[in-house]
Chains A and B, each alone.
Chain A
Amino acid sequence: MNDPVDVLIIGAGASGAAVAWSLAETKMHILCLDQGGWMKPSEYPSTGRDWEAKFYGDWSTSPNVRGRPEDYPINDDNSPIKVVNFNGVGGSTVMYTAHWPRLHPSDFKAKTLDGVADDWPIDYDTLVPFFEENDRMMGVSGLSGDPLSPLTHPPMPPQPLGLSGPLIGKAMNKLGWHWWPSDTTVATMDYEGRARCINLGHCTPACAQGAKASTDITYWPQAIRAGVELKTNCRVREILTDEHGMASGVVYYDKDGVEQFQPAEVVIIACNGVGTPRLLLNSVSGRFPNGLANSSGLVGKNLMFHPYAQIYGYVKEPTDSNRAPPTCLWSKEFYDTDLSRGFVRGYGIQFVRGAGPVFEAVASEQKGILPWGADHHRVFRKLHGHRLGVSAICEDLPEEHNRVTLDPVLKDSHGIPAPRIDYTISENSWKMMEHGLARGREILEVAGATDICTNSPIPWGGWHLLGTARMGTDPACSVVNEWGRSHDVKNLFIVDGSVFVTSGGVNPTSTIQAIALYVADQMKQRLANLFD
């Protein structure tokens, strides 16, 4: 048996890294187990001539396609939106667009303001110091002063507008609609040991330059220097409990596939909105027959994705194609509720600069706008390097029938039951997506775009895995309390996107990490009576 630790963190991604770093100052014995290993930037796609092809294989966003040893399969056949993620030190911050909006203050009060879903048990102001700390740790670029976004203070200037940005900006100005440079975790200057962005373009499947913040190069080096221990290639099977109903540790498989028991005084789960309910539902015992921390029956329920309504077209002017980070601008014009639009709540918009030649060819052929035969070359030259994209990130409201359960058949490489997703897009979300497509078409047409295509929803767009172990003050209606502790198991905490009560209409990683830092801070303040 391994020596007991004070704190055991499961998962070394966005939230696991943040909570580990924050707790390190307590000098407790902190151990993190991750099912993946350390990344090797020298092997990242943009280091090779076949960089685009890798996106369809070893660097696919889908764990089911990628199938690396550290990935676990997910049965998402019964969902129009497929789960995408990345497993390894850094988690999905290794493979994300680095778009960095925060939830808005109004997102924490959806019930009070709009009569839907529920209010969070915490508010935006509570998280502000942790947003700020996280922005400093991750290294954020942007332009302070956006009138329709929460006030931020990015330590680095925004990404250049490039060729695509002005085309979008001019169109938005003609329409009289809000737009602003996105906050991103792309370093636009040398920052804390990270080299500045040199526009490799292929940001999503990992940044060889190290300009894009991922927690393997931001939080983890500092956490490890501060004494946190990180064991890689260790996949946790289940959390065990003692006769008092407290978590006693975890059973995991080490890098050699050998079953191990790791005792711990405190267990923190940071496995994302699919991995966390999977682990809890796999942690069954006589005392917890329906899974750990599941007396409410809500573990795995209320899964929220953010359906993406994507529309793009082609302008005569050259765009940035693959020679820039893909996202640089956002709009909050349609973020807040306006019932005259036919739906409640709203969506953020992120603009996309363009695509590389292989991606352009594959996508356009599939859409039927790039022909086979003699005309292929002429049409390709009209499309490539001329694409502009608009994506509406639609707020997904919590619905219990959208859920993560355990698949009765599918298992991972260690024989652990895999997650199954059952998810449908609500009528409200469909209306929101249609509205987003219509507004996106207006933007593109004002920009002069033709050959307009849509993906609604983006089928491989299940980036944001939220809501499956929601926080709240009532144990009957939530899984964790207002500071991340399980209602049922007093030494069990959850810090990832599972705890979201509502999803907002923005990318969630900034808020996920702010919550992780907030929970860590609450734990530090309550160390003397943490289990009361």
Chain B
Amino acid sequence: MSAANELTSIQRDDLRTVAAMIIPASDEYEVPGADDPAIQADMLATFGRDTAMVRAALDHLARLAGRPLAELDTARRDAVAQEFRATGGVAAATLVRVVLQCYYRDDRVLRSLGLELRAPFPKGYTLEHGDWSLLDPVKARPAKLRGAP
């Protein structure tokens, strides 16, 4: 069974809503929100070992909200979110982490951050050697390794 099928329709709606609360879309930075369909699809497809924790977090969220999160007014929703983060423990932290790890690998987001759309390997990155004369004061300072009898 895929992770998507392990969440109820209401849980998927709540996930989308809370994801948008964590990271809303921004015209200024030209990035989607974490409720973007492609990012949501990435989450649902890759919960993997986090599925149980995410479900527990969503269950906790539902208990706090008492109804689908999207149906709450803004003030109530913010209050529920604060309570969720304060009392949700490892499960809430896992849900937030899943949102963040899928968001910050989306092509549009990485492009906005000026990052290349690729895995580190095999191209790698170039690193400047830097100015080794910075070490001169260390070399000039009297210092002695502690001896041992």
Is A169 in contact with B101, judged by CB distance below 8 angstroms? no
A56 within 8 A of partner (CB): yes
Q: Across the interface, do A199 and B127 meet the contact criterion of CB distance under 8 Å?
A: yes
- A208 cross-chain contacts in B, Cβ below 8 A: 120-122
Whether A357 pairs with B24 at a CB distance below 8 angstroms is no
Q: How many angstroms between the C-alpha atoms of A169 and B110 in the bound complex? A: 30
User: Would A149 and B145 count as touching, CB distance under 8 A?
Assistant: yes
Cβ < 8 Å to B, chain A residues 119-157: 123-124, 143, 145, 147-150
Q: Which residues of A contact B129 (CB under 8 A)?
A: 160-161
Neighbouring A residues of B113 by C-beta, 8 Å: 357, 381, 384
CB pair B26–A374 under 8 Å, yes or no, is yes
Please report the C-alpha to C-alpha distance between residue A56 and residue B95 in the assembled complex, in whole angstroms. Answer: 12
- Digit string of B55-86 for contact with A (CB within 8 Å is 1, else 0)? 00000000000000000000000000100010
Annotate B113-125 by CB proximity to A: 1 below 8 A, 0 otherwise: 1010111111111
- A interface residue count range (under 10 / 10 to 19 / 20 to 34 / 35 or more): 35 or more
B93 close to chain A: CB less than 8 A? yes
Shortest CB-to-CB span from B64 to chain A, Å, is: 15
Check B22–A323 contact: CB distance below 8 A: no
Cβ contact of A46, chosen from B21, B23, B96, B120, cutoff 8 A: B120
Complex: A197 Cα to B96 Cα, angstroms: 33
- Known contacts A104-B145, A147-B145, A320-B127: does B24 contact A376 (CB below 8 Å)? yes
Interface size in chain B (residues, C-beta < 8 A): 55
The answer on a CB contact under 8 Å between A147 and B124 is no
Residues in B neighbouring A374, C-beta threshold 8 A: 24, 26
Q: Are B141 and A176 in touch, CB under 8 angstroms?
A: yes
Q: A161-B129, A162-B128, A166-B134 are in contact. Are A56 and B97 (CB under 8 A)?
A: yes
A50 touches B139 (CB 8 A): no
Measured CB to CB, the nearest residue on chain A to B48 is A57
Chain A residues touching B, majority SS: loop
Known: A50-B105, A162-B127, A200-B124. Is A113-B148 also a contact (CB below 8 A)? yes
Asked if A201 is an interface residue, CB under 8 A from chain B, the answer is yes
Q: Are B148 and A324 in contact (CB under 8 A)?
A: no
A129 to B49, CA, bound (A): 46
Known: A374-B26, A377-B29. A124 touches B125 (CB 8 A): no
A124 CA to B147 CA in the complex, in Å?
10
Q: Who on chain B is nearest to A168 by CB?
A: B134
Let me know if A105 is at the binding interface, CB within 8 A.
yes
A47 touches B141 (CB 8 A): no
Candidates B22, B105, B131, B138; contact of A52 at CB < 8 Å: B105
With a cutoff of 8 Å between Cβ atoms, the chain A residues found around residue B85 in the complex are: 372
Asked whether, in the complex, the Cβ of B21 is within 8 Å of the Cβ of A372, the reply is: yes
Inter-chain contacts of B49 with A (CB < 8 A): 57, 67
Determine whether the beta carbon of B120 is less than 8 Å from that of A202. yes
Q: Which residues of A contact B (CB under 8 A)?
A: 44, 46-53, 56-57, 67, 104-106, 108-109, 112-113, 123-124, 143, 145, 147-150, 159-163, 165-166, 169-170, 172-173, 176, 178-181, 197-202, 208-209, 320, 322-324, 335-336, 357-358, 361-362, 365-366, 372-374, 376-377, 381, 384
CB-nearest residue of chain B relative to A209? Answer: B121
Judging by beta carbons under 8 Å apart, are B121 and A200 in contact?
Answer: yes
Q: Is the CB of B120 within 8 A of A53?
A: no
- Whether, in the assembled complex, B126 has its beta carbon less than 8 Å from a beta carbon of chain A, the answer is yes
Expressed in whole angstroms, the minimum distance between the Cβ of B5 and any Cβ of chain A is 20
Answer whether A161 and B120 are a contact pair too, CB < 8 Å, given A57-B49, A105-B145, A376-B24. Answer: no
Q: How far is the CA of A165 from the CA of B120 in the complex (A)?
A: 21
A46 to B124, CA, bound (A): 9
Residue in contact with A377 in the complex, picked from B21, B31, B117, B118, CB distance below 8 Å: B31
Is the Cβ of B119 less than 8 Å from the Cβ of A165? Answer: no
* 17 further A-B pairs in the complex, CB-CB below 8 A; given A357-B110, A377-B26: A44-B121, A57-B48, A106-B148, A109-B149, A113-B146, A147-B139, A161-B129, A173-B138, A202-B120, A324-B125, A357-B104, A358-B101, A361-B103, A374-B26, A376-B24, A377-B23, A377-B31
Asked whether A51 lies within 8 Å of B145 as measured between CB atoms, the reply is no
